[in-house]
Structure 1
């Protein structure tokens, strides 16, 4: 049941003879237009955050773990607390561009990320995935990266939808430290 204020905030969509406009309601998010237009996106390896982060110390770059071919880093704009990205060091855009060794380590890091986040925060599940190409939603399409987003029952609420606000229970630096402490030492490669 909707309230008067909810009705007032809805925008009427003309009928398209029983098609999608009659089935779906619309949520307008004009702030995403800059993202769609690609404003402020990196233009190459020289300004690619995934190429620059490995040059930073772990705390500054929010790096949780470093491998031989791949590193784990917290997402600076997380969908949920503990949102990690598993990123190859090489600046390649597509999963098919990875070597067998990179694919293997990416898989190992994904499994380890899931185990560590479960151990530290009791995540109930995960969204694991990568968006290949800007048309598929990749924010940084030129440098492959895989998301590991922890999920908990009831973690979706009105705050991000209505309040345009994410509620995170811990600052990123503290989350990074906690995850790094629990990452198996055998998989860490010393910084260059």
Structure 2
């Protein structure tokens, strides 16, 4: 026997309808700001902690002298990488010349590798400087490299507020890491 619609609604599960649901509960950690450092806080900064992990656990694609490339744990699109300086620095003008050069080189290489592995039609490249500019972790600079495909901004993110990723992050990391030395 089914429950009356008003009882179902009162229990917080909504009114039954014909729609299927695609749940993405892992995104709640991002939405709630879990593990997000305050201002210039180094302790607890995920971008300072990631290089201490092994590459598979940290989703690290490649390591350089001053920067590393890592998959975004909360990607906008499949293959969404970030290039991050090891040094805890918030603003682009505060990078040293070697950091700036290697960040640029890793960004170029990330594009080459992504093209080889998944043939995107284009890229969004950029960094958000400051919370007001959209930086999720403003205390530690990071450059986004987001592969884009025609039609990737379809009804799922627009109406469903959900991105569909066709591959586990670990599998994507392995493909990119394997192709990195060849690029």
Give me the TM-score of the superposition, normalised by structure 2.
Answer: 0.79
In the alignment, does 2:67 pair up with 1:65?
no
How far 1:41 moved relative to its partner?
A: 2.5
- Deviation per residue, 1:146-175 (Å, 9 max, x gap): 000000111111111222221011000000
Change (3 A) 1:140 1:99: same
> In the alignment, is the contact (CA less than 8 A) between 2:35 and 2:44 conserved in 1?
no
Instruction: Report the counterpart of residue 165 of structure 1 in structure 2.
Output: 162
Instruction: Report the counterpart of residue 92 of structure 1 in structure 2.
Output: 89
The within-5 A match list for 1:34-53 is: 41-43=36-38, 44-53=41-50
Q: Provide runs of 4+ in structure 1 moved above 4 Å.
A: 37-40
Q: Which runs of 5+ in 2 are unaligned?
A: 1-26
Q: Distance in 2 between matches of 1:41 and 1:168?
A: 24
Q: Which runs of 5+ in 1 are unaligned?
A: 1-30, 187-192
Alignment match of 2:79 (pick from 67, 73, 82): 82
Aligned residues between the structures? 154
The within-5 A match list for 1:124-139 is: 124-139=121-136
Q: Distance in 1 between matches of 2:182 and 2:88?
A: 26
> In the alignment, is the contact (CA less than 8 A) between 2:35 and 2:46 conserved in 1?
no
How far 1:185 moved relative to its partner?
A: 6.1
Q: Distance in 2 between matches of 1:58 and 1:38?
A: 24
Instruction: Report the counterpart of residue 9 of structure 1 in structure 2.
Output: none
Change (3 A) 1:82 1:39: closer
How far 1:40 moved relative to its partner?
A: 5.6
